[in-house]
Amino acid sequence: MRIGTGYDVHRLAAGRKLIIGGVDIPYEKGLLGHSDADVLLHAICDALLGAAGMGDIGKHFPDSNPAYKGISSLALLSEVRRLIGRSAFQVNNIDATIVAERPKMAPHIPLMVANIAAATGADRSAVNIKATTTEGLGFAGRGEGIAAYAVCTITRTG
């Protein structure tokens, strides 16, 4: 078994959709980024790539490449699954935390889990998503951005 960690943060901005865990969440702002800026999926991608010793999301999907402009991070996560699969690894477990003052994430977590399980080939029971606030402290507490942390384990397939 191998373990990887991931962290990502994006600024909230008007005129953008808020997509987290592949779910379009109704909110007055969205996350700013080259792709759909799905902070949760980016953290998970980094954790999986790290566990496999394959670098990070920026190495495989650079924001300098126009092909990734506006791309769904679910597509990126599926590609990460394919990349680590080529190295004979499979997803064993995903545990992640979203850090946001608003909006409330709890109603959206079951769909996030389903999306992540489908994209990674993991059983839903192996995907755990949590959300927390910062009690008004820091950039997340002020509503300036959203962050996510992820820890993933992978195992050899053969």
Are the C-beta atoms of residues 142 and 29 closer than 8 Å to each other?
no
How do strand 127-132 and strand 89-99 relate by DSSP bridges?
parallel
**What topology does CATH give the domain 2-156?**
60s Ribosomal Protein L30; Chain: A; (3.30.1330)
Burial bucket for residue 149 (CB in 10 Å: 0-12, 13-18, 19+): buried
Phi/psi at 36 (5° precision): -75, 0
How many other C-beta atoms lie within 10 A of the C-beta of residue 63?
12
- pTM of the full structure: 0.96
Q: What is the length of the chain?
A: 158
| Predicted pLDDT of residue 129 | 98
What's the pLDDT band for 36 if we cut at 50, 70, 90?
very high
pLDDT digits (tens, 9 = 90+) for 39-83: 999 999 999 999 999 999 999 998 898 888 889 999 999 999 999
Distance CA 42, CA 21 (A): 9
Please check whether residue 140 is in contact with residue 101, taking contact to mean a CB–CB distance below 8 angstroms.
yes
What is the dihedral sign for C-alpha 11, 24, 74, 104?
Answer: positive
DSSP string spanning 21-51? TTEEE--S-EE-SSS---HHHHHHHHHHHHH
